Structure 1
């Protein structure tokens, strides 16, 4: 199938499809007139790549998952391990984001609740000192 048909069927732009081809994720054979001719399985491969990227997989990770020889228990196990690993990465990112959110909300509250008798600079120093205290390892307290 030509690139226009592949783009229509996958919802991807022709330039994105050419990018995936240049990256080695899909292949096309060249016709005598120079047009690209994509195999039927390119639709499914592109859908898998798009879905994987939306789930947070890099192109390199997608290459490892999609270019392996088909079939076999090893591929199944690698796919499961990759998916589980991505969940762990997402959970770690969520924890970092939650901590950042907590810090930002504390800063906002500290700025909004600035005592009237101190300057903005003194308040900033006070808030930063408070954040440093909260970030210190708790092992010193034992």
Structure 2
């Protein structure tokens, strides 16, 4: 199939398909004598895997090491290990986000507790100094 048909079947722009080919993620391509690209049906599967993996948080570099040249020769153990590692990475990110959220909510609560007779700038200094002292005590 040509790149236009592949783009329709995958919902990707032809430029994105050429990009994946250029960086070595899409290897199922043949160059015809006229210079046009010809893609086998497996290219649809490869592109769906790439876009799904990117949505799940895999970087292009991670995908380059994970995706086999021939989808029929996938290393099951490597795939499972990579997926477990990505779940672990996501859990770490979630933990950091939860900590950031808790800290922001605490700052927000302090800012909202501004005494009525205090201007915003003075309140900001009050809040910042309070959290500066908390960090000093924790360290």
| Superposition TM-score tier, normalisation by shorter sequence | 0.7 to 0.9
- Poorly superposed stretches of 4+, deviation over 6 Å: none
Q: Which residue in 2 is equivalent to 1:111?
A: 111
Specify whether residues 137 and 38 from structure 1 end up closer, same or farther in structure 2 by C-alpha distance, changes over 3 A only: farther
TM-score, scaled relative to structure 1:
0.84
- Structure 1's unaligned 5+ residue stretches are none
Comparing 63-72 with 121-130, greater Cα deviation is found at 63-72
TM-score, scaled relative to structure 2:
0.85
How many residue pairs match? The answer is 137
In 2, Cα distance between the equivalents of 1:137 and 1:62? Answer: 43
Q: Which residue in 1 is equivalent to 2:81?
A: 81
- Structure 2's unaligned 5+ residue stretches are none
- Indicate if the aligned counterparts of 1:103 and 1:131 stay in contact, CA closer than 8 A: no
Measured on the aligned residues, the alpha-carbon RMSD in Å equals: 2.1
- Mapping 1:1-142, distance limit 5 Å: 1-27=1-27, 28-67=29-68, 70-71=72-73, 75-135=75-135, 138=138
